[in-house]
Structure 1
Amino acid sequence: MSNQQVDDALVKADRWSKVIALFFAMGMFGLATLLTESFQLSAVVAAFGAIGVRIYVPYHVSVWGEDSGGIASQSYELTGNYHHGAAGIALVVASFAALAALVAGPSVHEIFATGTTSAVYGALGVALAVGAVLFVLLRTALPS
């Protein structure tokens, strides 16, 4: 497999990541809407999760993708620098953490009716904390 074929495979993975992220976003939006009954918060959670998927898929292919001879794509000298696996995984997990915090807290309708947004800020804090810790751990654990 030539460097051009590896580059073409990574471009193909990048294109497929758009489709995968779209379906992930639709599923996440549906799940979040069922659990929180808030379209706005569900859209935010789904968008951040989809961005994480979009970032992770090309990274995964660049590191673990192999040609017919079993050689990793990353071993070719002209392979693109897709080193964002930790950020992608952290965004996806942080989205689920924010959703869990929103579900565990008070009702979203109650939050907006009373004007107190502490539960929303709490979910944001949980997502940031989980995402940051996971990013730091994965940045050193995942291959680059």
Structure 2
Amino acid sequence: MSEFWLISAPGDKENLQALERMNNVTSKSNLSHNTKFAIPDFKVGTLDSLVGLSDELGKLDTFAESLIKRMAQSVVEVMEDSKGKAHETLLANGVDLTSFVTHFEWDMAKYPAKQPLVSVVDTLAKQLAQIETD
């Protein structure tokens, strides 16, 4: 399984100098494959609400990771005869996981950036709870 790191580097939306510098450094030794990871401008609200969301997102992240691991384990168990093929079956939006992560695009239809961030997090939490129920 691949390992992914999400890092933040200074720069503006149009300026890709930080990414170019990272590519120059890491490509010499074939250390990594770097891609731009675009995140929309959210309505973050006050610092207090952002700190509160940080705590909630930590819990939601743990819950989502646990849920995804259980779902993946279920796929592996169902495909017991084809254990080597289970990795090929685990897809996100119809593409393999590596492609999904390296070509990630925020789904504005499901999670509008124009809504307050607390609403986006609430929508995500409800969808994860529904997935667990199903």
Q: TM-score range by the shorter chain?
A: 0.3 to 0.5
Q: TM-score, normalised by structure 2?
A: 0.34
Question: TM-score by structure 1 length?
Answer: 0.32
